[in-house]
Amino acid sequence: MSSATSIETKIERDYKFNFTVNFFDGLFFWFGVSFIAYRTILPVYISNLTDSQFVIALLSVTLTTGWLLPQLFTANWTQRLPIKKYAPVNIGLWTERLPIILLVPSAWLATISIELALIASMICIAWHILGAGVIAVAWQDMIAKIFPVDRRGRFFGITNFGGTATGVLGATTVTWLLDRYEFPFSYMWSFLIGAVCIFISWIFLAMTKEPRDESETEPVSNRDYWKQLPNIIKNDANFRRYLVTQIFTGSGNMTIGFLAVYAVQRWSLPDSQAGGFTIAMLIGQSLGNLFLGWLSDRKGHKLSLEICVLITALAAGIAALTTQEIWFFVVFFMIGFSAAGLMLSGISIVFEFCEPNIRPTYIGITNTFRGIVAIAMPLIGGWLALSQGYQTMFGITFAVSLFGLVLLHFWVQEPRKIPGP
């Protein structure tokens, strides 16, 4: 029996077990994240510490790019790991999970000094997001390794559906906490519950059974590795076109980080309303994960991405035109639905552009490129909000997203339908 056949046999043998433990990893992770919700709770929390649009934009940049930017820098190292889970389990405990625990005393510092609380909180948020980015390629490669191509959408869909569905319960609890306790104690309780759940998810992740797979390619120095990257992009035209579309389809990042702050400020809403927006977003994510996970396994991830870009554009259009706060529940529902597919299919489609032995490199190129683009988007959004107003910013997001949709649909081929590079 060849090494590849032996690995495939082990993967099939452990499939149900790995599905179960990784399902509970996702379930507890997403439940925990609902207590610190990146797009609703954290921006409103930070807005209690500062009224600076620059800091809000910096938070949005950090949340958007921190996970993406480090990935290419860890791809060469990840490619040589015989067991990929080493990174998210052994390293991720310190880089990704610990700073969420430290966010609790950071919020408490607001009782002493608002400035100290702001600095400590921003450090913990950046540490968490960047730390997640450091181990992200290895986690994605592990998932691609232990789940066959025609079951990845199912795994992401069901897991994220379960996580976001329970996240609705979490968001409801957050709403109660923000109403029940004064600032900053309301956020301290919310962050503490989130940290406990995220640590429990790590325990399930550590139980994953991954077969050892020694790389057949010769190790290369980082210098030589970086030299070969331009050739990969040059020689794979479809992958190159896909990267270009990310410049435009990622324009939703120009808007998303400002939606909750805009709604709360425009209609003088209480902070607890951020919990309501989170519930709407999580319901959208739950349904999006369930439907798009099923769709992408059958029709491919490109169609799923096209649907999500269209929904993002429509959400920005509604935000630009509405004069009633109730419509923002619809906006956050749509943002949640599209975010589900952009994550599910945005991760999975990259696996299909290449052979498994260079998968970490393709993952790293894609996500670091997206991270570079995403740095600019919230900063442009902050500038537009300050100089032209939020509604203009939402309108521009609508137009740019539609242009990106046209490029993605007509210019990029479904990678399942063409030979690999």
* Assigned domain for 216 exists: no
The secondary structure element, H or E, covering residue 179 is: helix 152-180
The answer to the question of residue 206 being in a domain is: yes
Residue 245: partners with Cβ closer than 8 Å, 6 or more residues away: 404, 407, 408, 411, 412
- Name which of 317, 313, 314, 328 is nearest 265 in CA terms: 328
In a domain, 357, yes or no: yes
Judged by DSSP in three states, 417 sits in: helix
* Secondary structure (3-state) at 318: helix
Any domain includes 50: yes
Q: Residue 257: which CATH number?
A: 1.20.1250.20
Q: Which domain holds residue 262?
A: 14-211+222-417
**pTM recorded for the entire structure:** 0.74
Structural domain contains residue 5: no
DSSP state of 211: -
Asked if residue 167 belongs to a domain, the reply is yes
In a domain, 236, yes or no: yes
Distances (CA, A) of 218 to 114, 225, 277, 315, 353: 52, 11, 50, 47, 22
Burial of 59 (0-12, 13-18, 19+ CB in 10 A): buried
Segment 116-152, tens digit of pLDDT:
999 999 999 999 999 998 998 888 888 888 887 677 7
The total domain count for the chain is: 1
Residues (pLDDT < 70) of the chain are 1-5, 149, 214-219, 253-254, 257, 271-272, 274-275, 418-421
pLDDT tens digit sequence for 384-420? 877 887 888 888 889 988 999 999 999 988 887 765 4
What pLDDT score does 128 carry? 92
pLDDT of residue 3: 54
Residue 217 has a pLDDT of 61
Assigned token pair, 339: 């975010």
CB 365 within 8 A of CB 233: yes
User: 81 in a domain, yes or no?
Assistant: yes
For residue 367, give Cα distances in angstroms to 75, 180, 190, 241. Answer: 11, 40, 30, 15
